[in-house]
Structure 1
Amino acid sequence: MTLSKKMINAQVMDRNASLFRCPICLATMEMVELSRLVCVNNHSFDLSKNGYVNLAPQAHMTKYDQSLFGARKTVMTSGFFDGVLEAIINTVEKQPHTVILDAGCGEGSHLSEIVERLAGDVTGVGIDLAKEGITAAVKEYPGLIWNVADLANCPFQDDKFDVILNILSPANYAEFSRLLKPGGLFVKAVPESGYLQELRAIFYEDKGQKDEADPVARVAEHFDAVSTERITYTFPLADGLLAPLIQMTPLTWGASADKIEEALQMTIPEITIDFTIISGVNRKETGQCLVE
Protein backbone atom coordinates (compact mmCIF):
# COMPACT_ATOMS: atom_id res chain seq x y z
CA MET A 1 0.00 0.00 0.00
CA THR A 2 1.39 3.37 -1.03
CA LEU A 3 1.35 5.99 1.69
CA SER A 4 -0.03 9.44 0.96
CA LYS A 5 2.30 12.42 1.20
CA LYS A 6 0.40 13.54 4.28
CA MET A 7 0.97 10.19 5.99
CA ILE A 8 4.66 10.15 5.03
CA ASN A 9 5.07 13.63 6.52
CA ALA A 10 3.00 12.76 9.59
CA GLN A 11 5.16 9.73 10.34
CA VAL A 12 8.38 11.75 10.06
CA MET A 13 6.93 14.40 12.37
CA ASP A 14 5.80 11.72 14.82
CA ARG A 15 9.31 10.21 14.98
CA ASN A 16 10.73 13.65 15.67
CA ALA A 17 8.05 15.09 17.96
CA SER A 18 10.67 15.67 20.68
CA LEU A 19 12.03 18.54 18.57
CA PHE A 20 8.92 20.64 19.10
CA ARG A 21 7.80 23.03 21.80
CA CYS A 22 4.46 24.80 21.93
CA PRO A 23 4.65 28.29 20.42
CA ILE A 24 2.00 29.46 22.90
CA CYS A 25 3.17 28.10 26.28
CA LEU A 26 6.60 26.61 25.40
CA ALA A 27 5.60 23.16 26.71
CA THR A 28 6.65 19.86 25.17
CA MET A 29 4.54 18.40 22.37
CA GLU A 30 3.57 15.04 20.93
CA MET A 31 1.90 13.82 17.79
CA VAL A 32 -1.61 12.52 18.40
CA GLU A 33 -3.24 10.08 15.99
CA LEU A 34 -0.80 11.15 13.27
CA SER A 35 -3.04 14.16 12.72
CA ARG A 36 -2.05 16.93 15.12
CA LEU A 37 0.68 18.22 17.41
CA VAL A 38 -0.60 18.72 20.97
CA CYS A 39 1.27 20.14 23.97
CA VAL A 40 0.84 19.05 27.59
CA ASN A 41 -1.39 22.10 28.15
CA ASN A 42 -3.65 20.93 25.31
CA HIS A 43 -2.78 23.57 22.72
CA SER A 44 -3.41 21.70 19.48
CA PHE A 45 -2.16 22.26 15.93
CA ASP A 46 -3.64 20.19 13.10
CA LEU A 47 -1.73 18.85 10.13
CA SER A 48 -2.84 20.37 6.88
CA LYS A 49 -4.22 18.12 4.15
CA ASN A 50 -0.70 17.86 2.74
CA GLY A 51 1.06 17.30 6.05
CA TYR A 52 2.55 20.51 7.41
CA VAL A 53 1.68 22.26 10.67
CA ASN A 54 1.14 25.98 11.10
CA LEU A 55 2.93 26.87 14.34
CA ALA A 56 2.71 30.64 13.92
CA PRO A 57 -0.24 31.35 16.26
CA GLN A 58 -1.05 34.70 14.68
CA ALA A 59 -1.69 35.19 10.99
CA HIS A 60 1.07 36.97 9.09
CA MET A 61 0.91 38.59 5.68
CA THR A 62 4.06 38.43 3.56
CA LYS A 63 5.02 39.64 0.09
CA TYR A 64 5.72 36.07 -0.97
CA ASP A 65 2.84 34.44 -2.85
CA GLN A 66 2.27 31.20 -4.71
CA SER A 67 3.38 32.58 -8.08
CA LEU A 68 6.65 33.88 -6.61
CA PHE A 69 7.48 30.49 -5.11
CA GLY A 70 6.60 28.81 -8.39
CA ALA A 71 9.00 31.14 -10.17
CA ARG A 72 11.70 30.46 -7.57
CA LYS A 73 11.35 26.70 -8.00
CA THR A 74 11.74 27.06 -11.78
CA VAL A 75 14.94 29.04 -11.34
CA MET A 76 16.43 26.91 -8.57
CA THR A 77 15.83 23.59 -10.35
CA SER A 78 17.63 24.96 -13.43
CA GLY A 79 20.99 24.71 -11.66
CA PHE A 80 21.16 28.46 -11.05
CA PHE A 81 22.13 28.01 -7.38
CA ASP A 82 24.20 24.83 -7.63
CA GLY A 83 27.56 26.47 -6.96
CA VAL A 84 26.30 28.03 -3.74
CA LEU A 85 24.64 24.79 -2.60
CA GLU A 86 27.86 22.90 -3.28
CA ALA A 87 29.77 25.26 -1.00
CA ILE A 88 27.13 24.90 1.73
CA ILE A 89 27.17 21.09 1.47
CA ASN A 90 30.99 21.05 1.66
CA THR A 91 30.78 23.13 4.85
CA VAL A 92 28.02 21.08 6.47
CA GLU A 93 29.43 17.63 5.72
CA LYS A 94 32.54 18.35 7.82
CA GLN A 95 30.37 18.57 10.96
CA PRO A 96 27.79 16.26 12.56
CA HIS A 97 24.61 16.86 10.57
CA THR A 98 21.94 14.47 11.79
CA VAL A 99 19.24 17.13 12.28
CA ILE A 100 19.26 20.22 10.05
CA LEU A 101 16.99 23.27 10.22
CA ASP A 102 16.54 25.57 7.23
CA ALA A 103 15.30 28.84 8.72
CA GLY A 104 13.51 30.68 5.93
CA CYS A 105 13.24 27.67 3.62
CA GLY A 106 10.88 29.16 1.04
CA GLU A 107 9.52 26.48 -1.26
CA GLY A 108 11.98 23.92 0.09
CA SER A 109 14.27 23.24 -2.88
CA HIS A 110 17.50 24.15 -1.08
CA LEU A 111 16.88 22.00 1.99
CA SER A 112 15.68 19.05 -0.08
CA GLU A 113 18.78 19.14 -2.29
CA ILE A 114 21.15 19.47 0.67
CA VAL A 115 19.56 16.62 2.65
CA GLU A 116 19.52 14.38 -0.42
CA ARG A 117 23.22 14.92 -1.09
CA LEU A 118 24.52 14.57 2.47
CA ALA A 119 25.66 11.15 3.61
CA GLY A 120 23.88 9.29 6.38
CA ASP A 121 20.41 9.45 7.88
CA VAL A 122 19.59 13.17 7.95
CA THR A 123 16.39 14.75 9.27
CA GLY A 124 15.57 17.98 7.47
CA VAL A 125 13.29 20.61 9.03
CA GLY A 126 12.16 23.66 7.08
CA ILE A 127 10.34 26.69 8.45
CA ASP A 128 9.05 29.81 6.79
CA LEU A 129 6.51 32.46 7.72
CA ALA A 130 5.05 32.37 4.20
CA LYS A 131 2.39 29.65 4.15
CA GLU A 132 2.51 29.56 0.35
CA GLY A 133 6.16 28.49 0.45
CA ILE A 134 5.54 25.73 2.99
CA THR A 135 2.51 24.53 1.02
CA ALA A 136 4.70 24.19 -2.07
CA ALA A 137 7.49 22.47 -0.11
CA VAL A 138 5.32 19.85 1.54
CA LYS A 139 3.73 18.88 -1.78
CA GLU A 140 7.01 18.63 -3.67
CA TYR A 141 9.34 17.18 -1.03
CA PRO A 142 7.61 14.65 1.26
CA GLY A 143 9.63 13.00 4.00
CA LEU A 144 10.97 16.23 5.48
CA ILE A 145 9.37 18.27 8.26
CA TRP A 146 7.76 21.49 7.06
CA ASN A 147 6.20 24.12 9.31
CA VAL A 148 4.87 27.64 9.09
CA ALA A 149 6.74 29.35 11.92
CA ASP A 150 8.07 32.69 13.10
CA LEU A 151 11.82 33.26 13.60
CA ALA A 152 10.99 35.42 16.59
CA ASN A 153 9.39 32.42 18.32
CA CYS A 154 10.80 29.22 16.82
CA PRO A 155 8.60 26.27 17.91
CA PHE A 156 11.47 23.97 18.86
CA GLN A 157 13.20 22.86 22.04
CA ASP A 158 16.66 24.06 23.06
CA ASP A 159 19.78 22.22 21.83
CA LYS A 160 18.05 20.09 19.20
CA PHE A 161 19.78 20.91 15.91
CA ASP A 162 23.23 19.99 14.62
CA VAL A 163 23.08 22.53 11.79
CA ILE A 164 21.02 25.64 11.05
CA LEU A 165 20.96 27.04 7.52
CA ASN A 166 19.98 30.64 6.80
CA ILE A 167 19.99 31.20 3.04
CA LEU A 168 18.92 34.55 1.61
CA SER A 169 16.71 35.07 4.64
CA PRO A 170 16.51 37.25 7.76
CA ALA A 171 18.29 35.93 10.84
CA ASN A 172 17.51 35.66 14.52
CA TYR A 173 20.90 34.87 15.98
CA ALA A 174 19.88 34.45 19.60
CA GLU A 175 17.13 31.99 18.63
CA PHE A 176 19.56 30.08 16.43
CA SER A 177 22.02 29.83 19.31
CA ARG A 178 19.24 28.52 21.55
CA LEU A 179 18.21 25.87 19.04
CA LEU A 180 21.68 24.60 18.14
CA LYS A 181 23.40 21.92 20.14
CA PRO A 182 26.63 22.99 21.85
CA GLY A 183 29.20 23.07 19.07
CA GLY A 184 26.45 23.05 16.46
CA LEU A 185 27.07 24.69 13.09
CA PHE A 186 25.40 27.85 11.76
CA VAL A 187 25.67 28.55 8.02
CA LYS A 188 24.43 31.76 6.42
CA ALA A 189 24.47 32.63 2.70
CA VAL A 190 24.42 36.37 1.98
CA PRO A 191 24.40 38.06 -1.44
CA GLU A 192 27.37 40.22 -2.38
CA SER A 193 27.62 43.25 -4.65
CA GLY A 194 27.81 41.26 -7.87
CA TYR A 195 24.69 39.17 -7.25
CA LEU A 196 22.23 39.66 -10.12
CA GLN A 197 24.20 42.73 -11.17
CA GLU A 198 22.69 42.54 -14.66
CA LEU A 199 19.22 43.06 -13.16
CA ARG A 200 20.46 45.66 -10.67
CA ALA A 201 21.73 47.74 -13.58
CA ILE A 202 18.20 47.77 -15.00
CA PHE A 203 16.11 48.30 -11.88
CA TYR A 204 18.45 50.43 -9.78
CA GLU A 205 20.09 52.43 -12.60
CA ASP A 206 22.05 55.19 -10.85
CA LYS A 207 20.28 54.93 -7.53
CA GLY A 208 22.46 53.90 -4.61
CA GLN A 209 21.73 50.82 -2.60
CA LYS A 210 21.24 50.87 1.15
CA ASP A 211 24.26 49.59 3.05
CA GLU A 212 23.46 46.64 5.26
CA ALA A 213 25.03 45.81 8.62
CA ASP A 214 28.16 43.68 8.31
CA PRO A 215 26.80 40.11 8.45
CA VAL A 216 30.18 38.59 9.35
CA ALA A 217 30.41 40.82 12.41
CA ARG A 218 26.84 39.96 13.38
CA VAL A 219 27.55 36.24 13.17
CA ALA A 220 30.75 36.69 15.19
CA GLU A 221 28.72 38.28 18.00
CA HIS A 222 27.00 34.93 18.60
CA PHE A 223 29.23 32.21 17.16
CA ASP A 224 32.86 31.11 17.42
CA ALA A 225 35.31 29.91 14.75
CA VAL A 226 33.63 32.15 12.15
CA SER A 227 34.85 31.59 8.59
CA THR A 228 33.82 32.89 5.19
CA GLU A 229 33.98 31.70 1.60
CA ARG A 230 33.17 33.88 -1.42
CA ILE A 231 31.38 32.09 -4.27
CA THR A 232 31.20 33.96 -7.59
CA TYR A 233 30.29 32.63 -11.01
CA THR A 234 28.08 33.38 -14.01
CA PHE A 235 25.14 31.23 -15.01
CA PRO A 236 23.90 31.00 -18.63
CA LEU A 237 20.35 32.29 -18.77
CA ALA A 238 18.45 29.82 -20.92
CA ASP A 239 15.28 30.72 -22.76
CA GLY A 240 12.36 31.00 -20.36
CA LEU A 241 14.42 31.72 -17.22
CA LEU A 242 14.49 35.52 -17.33
CA ALA A 243 10.79 35.97 -16.51
CA PRO A 244 10.76 33.73 -13.40
CA LEU A 245 14.08 35.20 -12.27
CA ILE A 246 12.62 38.71 -12.45
CA GLN A 247 9.46 37.54 -10.71
CA MET A 248 11.28 35.87 -7.80
CA THR A 249 13.69 38.64 -6.86
CA PRO A 250 12.82 41.50 -4.49
CA LEU A 251 14.87 43.72 -6.82
CA THR A 252 11.72 44.22 -8.88
CA TRP A 253 9.36 44.96 -6.00
CA GLY A 254 8.08 48.47 -6.47
CA ALA A 255 9.19 48.62 -10.11
CA SER A 256 6.67 49.87 -12.63
CA ALA A 257 5.00 47.51 -15.06
CA ASP A 258 6.75 49.37 -17.90
CA LYS A 259 10.17 48.84 -16.32
CA ILE A 260 9.50 45.13 -15.82
CA GLU A 261 8.28 44.79 -19.42
CA GLU A 262 11.41 46.60 -20.61
CA ALA A 263 13.58 44.11 -18.70
CA LEU A 264 11.66 41.15 -20.10
CA GLN A 265 12.37 42.31 -23.65
CA MET A 266 16.12 42.53 -23.07
CA THR A 267 18.66 39.91 -24.06
CA ILE A 268 20.64 38.89 -20.99
CA PRO A 269 22.87 35.93 -21.92
CA GLU A 270 24.12 35.21 -18.40
CA ILE A 271 23.55 36.28 -14.82
CA THR A 272 26.07 36.78 -12.03
CA ILE A 273 25.90 34.74 -8.82
CA ASP A 274 27.92 36.28 -5.99
CA PHE A 275 27.58 35.06 -2.39
CA THR A 276 29.55 34.82 0.81
CA ILE A 277 29.02 31.67 2.86
CA ILE A 278 29.49 32.50 6.56
CA SER A 279 29.77 29.70 9.10
CA GLY A 280 30.25 29.64 12.85
CA VAL A 281 30.17 27.23 15.79
CA ASN A 282 27.61 27.68 18.53
CA ARG A 283 28.95 29.01 21.83
CA LYS A 284 25.54 28.89 23.62
CA GLU A 285 25.75 32.48 24.71
CA THR A 286 22.42 33.92 25.84
CA GLY A 287 21.25 37.35 24.84
CA GLN A 288 18.62 39.44 23.15
CA CYS A 289 16.80 38.19 20.10
CA LEU A 290 18.27 40.22 17.26
CA VAL A 291 16.49 40.02 13.91
CA GLU A 292 18.22 41.56 10.94
Structure 2
Amino acid sequence: MKLTKKMQSALVIEENIQLLKCPICSAEMEMEEHARLVCENKHSFDLAKSGYVNLAPQAHSTKYDKSLFEARTAVMNSGYFEPVLENIIARLNGHLAEIERPVLLDAGCGEGTHLHVVHSQMPTGSVGVGIDLAKEGIVAASKAYTGIVWSVADLAAMPFADGSIDAILNILSPANYAEFDRLLKPGGMLIKVVPESGYLQELREVFYDGKQQKEEADPVAKASEHFDAVETERVTYEFELPNGLLEPLIRMTPLTWGASEEKVREALEMGMNYITIDLRVIVGVRR
Protein backbone atom coordinates (compact mmCIF):
# COMPACT_ATOMS: atom_id res chain seq x y z
CA MET A 1 0.00 0.00 0.00
CA LYS A 2 1.39 3.38 -1.02
CA LEU A 3 2.06 5.78 1.84
CA THR A 4 0.33 9.16 1.82
CA LYS A 5 2.44 12.30 1.42
CA LYS A 6 1.70 13.11 5.07
CA MET A 7 2.97 9.73 6.25
CA GLN A 8 6.06 9.90 4.02
CA SER A 9 6.89 13.31 5.46
CA ALA A 10 6.18 12.18 9.00
CA LEU A 11 8.68 9.33 8.62
CA VAL A 12 11.38 11.64 7.21
CA ILE A 13 10.81 14.17 10.01
CA GLU A 14 10.80 11.45 12.68
CA GLU A 15 14.09 10.08 11.38
CA ASN A 16 15.62 13.56 11.70
CA ILE A 17 13.75 14.80 14.75
CA GLN A 18 17.00 15.83 16.48
CA LEU A 19 17.32 18.71 14.00
CA LEU A 20 14.15 20.42 15.17
CA LYS A 21 13.46 22.68 18.12
CA CYS A 22 10.24 24.32 19.18
CA PRO A 23 9.90 27.76 17.55
CA ILE A 24 8.14 29.06 20.68
CA CYS A 25 10.27 27.81 23.57
CA SER A 26 13.29 26.15 21.85
CA ALA A 27 12.64 22.78 23.53
CA GLU A 28 13.28 19.50 21.73
CA MET A 29 10.44 18.11 19.64
CA GLU A 30 8.81 14.69 19.30
CA MET A 31 6.53 13.26 16.64
CA GLU A 32 3.14 12.07 17.91
CA GLU A 33 1.03 9.57 15.97
CA HIS A 34 2.80 10.51 12.72
CA ALA A 35 0.56 13.57 12.73
CA ARG A 36 2.01 16.37 14.84
CA LEU A 37 5.18 17.74 16.38
CA VAL A 38 4.99 18.37 20.13
CA CYS A 39 7.57 19.79 22.52
CA GLU A 40 7.91 19.06 26.26
CA ASN A 41 6.01 22.28 27.00
CA LYS A 42 3.08 20.98 24.94
CA HIS A 43 3.40 23.38 22.03
CA SER A 44 1.93 21.42 19.12
CA PHE A 45 2.26 21.72 15.34
CA ASP A 46 0.16 19.58 13.00
CA LEU A 47 1.45 18.16 9.74
CA ALA A 48 -0.63 19.28 6.78
CA LYS A 49 -2.17 16.72 4.43
CA SER A 50 0.60 17.36 1.87
CA GLY A 51 3.25 16.79 4.54
CA TYR A 52 4.64 20.20 5.49
CA VAL A 53 4.58 21.64 8.99
CA ASN A 54 4.04 25.28 9.92
CA LEU A 55 6.69 26.28 12.45
CA ALA A 56 6.19 30.04 12.11
CA PRO A 57 4.46 30.82 15.45
CA GLN A 58 3.11 34.17 14.28
CA ALA A 59 0.82 34.46 11.28
CA HIS A 60 2.60 36.22 8.42
CA SER A 61 1.24 37.61 5.20
CA THR A 62 3.65 37.87 2.27
CA LYS A 63 3.37 39.26 -1.24
CA TYR A 64 4.06 35.79 -2.63
CA ASP A 65 0.85 34.09 -3.75
CA LYS A 66 -0.05 30.79 -5.43
CA SER A 67 0.09 32.22 -8.96
CA LEU A 68 3.61 33.53 -8.39
CA PHE A 69 4.85 30.12 -7.29
CA GLU A 70 3.10 28.44 -10.22
CA ALA A 71 4.93 30.84 -12.53
CA ARG A 72 8.22 30.18 -10.76
CA THR A 73 7.76 26.41 -11.01
CA ALA A 74 7.20 26.66 -14.77
CA VAL A 75 10.37 28.73 -15.18
CA MET A 76 12.56 26.59 -12.92
CA ASN A 77 11.45 23.36 -14.61
CA SER A 78 12.52 24.77 -18.01
CA GLY A 79 16.24 24.45 -17.29
CA TYR A 80 16.55 28.21 -16.76
CA PHE A 81 18.72 27.76 -13.65
CA GLU A 82 20.53 24.57 -14.62
CA PRO A 83 24.13 25.88 -14.96
CA VAL A 84 23.88 27.57 -11.55
CA LEU A 85 22.51 24.44 -9.90
CA GLU A 86 25.27 22.35 -11.48
CA ASN A 87 27.81 24.75 -9.96
CA ILE A 88 26.15 24.41 -6.54
CA ILE A 89 25.92 20.61 -6.73
CA ALA A 90 29.61 20.28 -7.60
CA ARG A 91 30.62 22.51 -4.68
CA LEU A 92 28.37 20.72 -2.20
CA ASN A 93 29.40 17.22 -3.19
CA GLY A 94 33.06 18.20 -2.98
CA HIS A 95 32.67 19.73 0.46
CA LEU A 96 30.38 17.08 1.94
CA ALA A 97 32.03 13.99 0.44
CA GLU A 98 33.39 12.69 3.74
CA ILE A 99 30.28 13.43 5.82
CA GLU A 100 27.81 10.64 6.55
CA ARG A 101 24.18 11.70 6.03
CA PRO A 102 24.91 15.42 5.53
CA VAL A 103 22.07 17.85 6.27
CA LEU A 104 21.35 20.53 3.64
CA LEU A 105 19.06 23.47 4.46
CA ASP A 106 17.59 25.72 1.77
CA ALA A 107 16.80 28.96 3.60
CA GLY A 108 14.18 30.72 1.48
CA CYS A 109 13.36 27.71 -0.70
CA GLY A 110 10.24 29.10 -2.40
CA GLU A 111 8.39 26.31 -4.19
CA GLY A 112 11.23 23.90 -3.61
CA THR A 113 12.54 23.17 -7.12
CA HIS A 114 16.14 24.19 -6.42
CA LEU A 115 16.38 22.06 -3.29
CA HIS A 116 14.72 19.10 -5.00
CA VAL A 117 17.23 19.19 -7.88
CA VAL A 118 20.26 19.64 -5.62
CA HIS A 119 19.16 17.05 -3.06
CA SER A 120 18.51 14.49 -5.80
CA GLN A 121 22.18 14.73 -6.83
CA MET A 122 23.58 14.28 -3.32
CA PRO A 123 24.65 10.91 -1.88
CA THR A 124 21.98 8.50 -0.68
CA GLY A 125 21.06 9.26 2.92
CA SER A 126 21.53 13.02 2.60
CA VAL A 127 18.88 15.04 4.42
CA GLY A 128 17.14 17.94 2.68
CA VAL A 129 15.30 20.65 4.61
CA GLY A 130 13.45 23.54 2.95
CA ILE A 131 11.96 26.53 4.72
CA ASP A 132 10.19 29.67 3.59
CA LEU A 133 7.93 32.19 5.27
CA ALA A 134 5.59 32.15 2.27
CA LYS A 135 3.12 29.36 3.03
CA GLU A 136 2.02 29.05 -0.61
CA GLY A 137 5.57 28.18 -1.63
CA ILE A 138 5.87 25.45 1.00
CA VAL A 139 2.45 24.07 0.08
CA ALA A 140 3.58 23.77 -3.55
CA ALA A 141 6.91 22.20 -2.53
CA SER A 142 5.33 19.57 -0.28
CA LYS A 143 2.82 18.61 -2.96
CA ALA A 144 5.49 18.25 -5.65
CA TYR A 145 8.49 16.76 -3.86
CA THR A 146 8.59 14.02 -1.23
CA GLY A 147 11.55 12.88 0.87
CA ILE A 148 12.39 16.40 2.06
CA VAL A 149 11.43 18.18 5.29
CA TRP A 150 9.29 21.18 4.26
CA SER A 151 8.37 23.85 6.78
CA VAL A 152 6.90 27.32 6.93
CA ALA A 153 9.47 29.12 9.09
CA ASP A 154 11.07 32.50 9.68
CA LEU A 155 14.69 33.03 8.58
CA ALA A 156 15.11 35.33 11.59
CA ALA A 157 14.40 32.50 14.04
CA MET A 158 14.77 29.14 12.34
CA PRO A 159 13.36 26.15 14.28
CA PHE A 160 16.51 24.04 14.24
CA ALA A 161 19.09 23.03 16.83
CA ASP A 162 22.41 24.83 17.12
CA GLY A 163 25.19 23.31 15.01
CA SER A 164 22.87 20.84 13.30
CA ILE A 165 23.33 21.76 9.61
CA ASP A 166 26.21 20.82 7.28
CA ALA A 167 25.40 23.22 4.43
CA ILE A 168 22.99 26.09 3.78
CA LEU A 169 21.70 27.33 0.43
CA ASN A 170 20.46 30.93 0.19
CA ILE A 171 19.45 31.54 -3.42
CA LEU A 172 18.17 35.00 -4.44
CA SER A 173 16.78 35.34 -0.93
CA PRO A 174 17.54 37.58 2.07
CA ALA A 175 20.28 36.29 4.37
CA ASN A 176 20.41 36.08 8.14
CA TYR A 177 24.07 35.54 8.92
CA ALA A 178 23.62 35.29 12.69
CA GLU A 179 21.20 32.40 12.19
CA PHE A 180 23.40 30.78 9.53
CA ASP A 181 26.32 30.93 11.95
CA ARG A 182 24.23 29.42 14.76
CA LEU A 183 22.91 26.55 12.66
CA LEU A 184 26.01 25.47 10.77
CA LYS A 185 28.44 22.97 12.21
CA PRO A 186 32.07 24.13 12.45
CA GLY A 187 33.38 23.92 8.90
CA GLY A 188 29.84 23.97 7.50
CA MET A 189 29.31 25.58 4.11
CA LEU A 190 27.14 28.51 3.05
CA ILE A 191 26.31 28.95 -0.62
CA LYS A 192 24.60 32.24 -1.39
CA VAL A 193 23.50 33.29 -4.89
CA VAL A 194 22.95 36.97 -5.70
CA PRO A 195 22.09 38.81 -8.93
CA GLU A 196 24.80 40.60 -10.89
CA SER A 197 24.38 43.68 -13.08
CA GLY A 198 23.31 41.80 -16.21
CA TYR A 199 20.66 39.61 -14.58
CA LEU A 200 17.44 39.73 -16.64
CA GLN A 201 18.74 42.85 -18.38
CA GLU A 202 16.25 42.44 -21.24
CA LEU A 203 13.37 42.84 -18.79
CA ARG A 204 15.11 45.75 -17.08
CA GLU A 205 15.31 47.53 -20.45
CA VAL A 206 11.53 47.35 -20.69
CA PHE A 207 10.51 47.98 -17.08
CA TYR A 208 13.29 50.33 -15.92
CA ASP A 209 14.55 51.82 -19.20
CA GLY A 210 17.82 50.00 -18.57
CA LYS A 211 18.48 51.72 -15.23
CA GLN A 212 20.17 49.70 -12.52
CA GLN A 213 18.18 49.02 -9.38
CA LYS A 214 19.72 50.16 -6.13
CA GLU A 215 21.82 47.31 -4.80
CA GLU A 216 22.09 46.28 -1.17
CA ALA A 217 25.39 46.34 0.71
CA ASP A 218 28.20 44.35 -0.94
CA PRO A 219 27.15 40.72 -0.35
CA VAL A 220 30.70 39.39 -0.69
CA ALA A 221 32.00 41.77 1.98
CA LYS A 222 29.04 40.87 4.19
CA ALA A 223 29.71 37.16 3.86
CA SER A 224 33.40 37.74 4.61
CA GLU A 225 32.47 39.34 7.93
CA HIS A 226 30.91 36.08 9.07
CA PHE A 227 32.62 33.26 7.16
CA ASP A 228 36.12 32.10 6.30
CA ALA A 229 37.52 30.95 2.95
CA VAL A 230 35.01 33.10 1.08
CA GLU A 231 35.27 32.70 -2.67
CA THR A 232 32.99 33.76 -5.48
CA GLU A 233 32.26 32.79 -9.06
CA ARG A 234 30.22 34.72 -11.60
CA VAL A 235 27.94 32.55 -13.73
CA THR A 236 26.68 34.28 -16.87
CA TYR A 237 24.84 32.86 -19.88
CA GLU A 238 21.98 33.50 -22.26
CA PHE A 239 18.96 31.27 -21.83
CA GLU A 240 16.78 30.64 -24.88
CA LEU A 241 13.17 31.18 -23.89
CA PRO A 242 10.80 28.38 -24.99
CA ASN A 243 7.38 29.42 -26.29
CA GLY A 244 5.11 30.49 -23.46
CA LEU A 245 7.82 30.99 -20.84
CA LEU A 246 8.18 34.78 -21.05
CA GLU A 247 4.92 35.51 -19.23
CA PRO A 248 5.65 33.29 -16.18
CA LEU A 249 9.16 34.75 -16.07
CA ILE A 250 7.71 38.26 -15.96
CA ARG A 251 5.17 37.26 -13.31
CA MET A 252 7.73 35.63 -11.02
CA THR A 253 10.48 38.24 -10.86
CA PRO A 254 10.41 41.17 -8.38
CA LEU A 255 11.78 43.32 -11.22
CA THR A 256 8.26 43.56 -12.63
CA TRP A 257 6.18 43.72 -9.46
CA GLY A 258 4.10 46.87 -9.42
CA ALA A 259 4.34 47.25 -13.19
CA SER A 260 1.16 48.11 -15.07
CA GLU A 261 -0.57 45.46 -17.17
CA GLU A 262 0.10 47.73 -20.13
CA LYS A 263 3.84 47.47 -19.48
CA VAL A 264 3.56 43.69 -19.10
CA ARG A 265 1.73 43.45 -22.44
CA GLU A 266 4.40 45.61 -24.05
CA ALA A 267 7.08 43.20 -22.87
CA LEU A 268 5.12 40.16 -24.05
CA GLU A 269 4.56 41.68 -27.49
CA MET A 270 8.29 42.24 -27.94
CA GLY A 271 8.67 38.48 -28.28
CA MET A 272 12.00 38.08 -26.46
CA ASN A 273 13.83 34.98 -27.64
CA TYR A 274 16.40 34.82 -24.84
CA ILE A 275 17.13 36.22 -21.41
CA THR A 276 20.47 36.96 -19.73
CA ILE A 277 21.29 35.07 -16.54
CA ASP A 278 24.04 36.80 -14.59
CA LEU A 279 24.53 35.58 -11.03
CA ARG A 280 27.29 35.41 -8.45
CA VAL A 281 27.80 32.28 -6.37
CA ILE A 282 29.32 33.17 -2.99
CA VAL A 283 30.75 30.35 -0.90
CA GLY A 284 31.96 30.56 2.69
CA VAL A 285 32.92 28.19 5.51
CA ARG A 286 31.78 28.66 9.10
CA ARG A 287 34.55 29.74 11.43
Map of 1:69 onto structure 2? 69
> C-alpha displacement at 1:270, in angstroms?
0.6
Comparing 268-277 and 95-104, the one that deviates more: 95-104
Map of 1:46 onto structure 2? 46
Map of 1:247 onto structure 2? 251
Alpha-carbon distance in 2 for matches of 1:206, 1:138: 38
Alpha-carbon distance in 2 for matches of 1:118, 1:272: 28
Letter in 1 for 2:203: L
**Residues 1:58 and 2:58 are matched in the alignment:** yes
Map of 2:276 onto structure 1? 272
Segments of structure 1 that go 5 or more residues without pairing to the other structure are: 284-292
Map of 1:36 onto structure 2? 36
Segments of structure 2 that go 5 or more residues without pairing to the other structure are: none
Alpha-carbon distance in 1 for matches of 2:180, 2:140: 24
> C-alpha displacement at 1:27, in angstroms?
0.8
Superposed CA deviations along residues 127-155 of structure 1, whole A, max 9, x for unmatched, are 00000000000000011000000011100
TM-score of the aligned structures, taking structure 1 as reference length = 0.95
> C-alpha displacement at 1:264, in angstroms?
1.2
Map of 2:93 onto structure 1? 93
Query: Once superposed, what is the RMSD of the aligned Cα atoms?
Result: 0.9
Map of 1:27 onto structure 2? 27
Comparing 130-139 and 84-93, the one that deviates more: 84-93
> C-alpha displacement at 1:119, in angstroms?
2.5
Alpha-carbon distance in 2 for matches of 1:156, 1:94: 25
> C-alpha displacement at 1:254, in angstroms?
1.1
Q: Secondary structure of the residue that 1:89 maps to in structure 2?
A: helix
> C-alpha displacement at 1:24, in angstroms?
0.6
Match of 2:157 among 134, 153, 161: 153
Cα gap change, 1:147 to 1:99, in 2 (>3 Å): same
Q: Which contiguous aligned blocks of 4+ residues in structure 1 show a shift greater than 6 angstroms?
A: none
Paired residues in the alignment total 283
Letter in 2 for 1:231: V
Map of 1:179 onto structure 2? 183
Alpha-carbon distance in 1 for matches of 2:244, 2:123: 34
Alpha-carbon distance in 1 for matches of 2:286, 2:127: 19
Structure 1 segment 101-140 matched on structure 2, within 5 A:
101-140=105-144
Identity percentage over the alignment? 63
Map of 2:261 onto structure 1? 257
Q: Secondary structure of the residue that 1:12 maps to in structure 2?
A: helix
8 Å contact kept, 2:172–2:193: yes
> C-alpha displacement at 1:208, in angstroms?
4.4
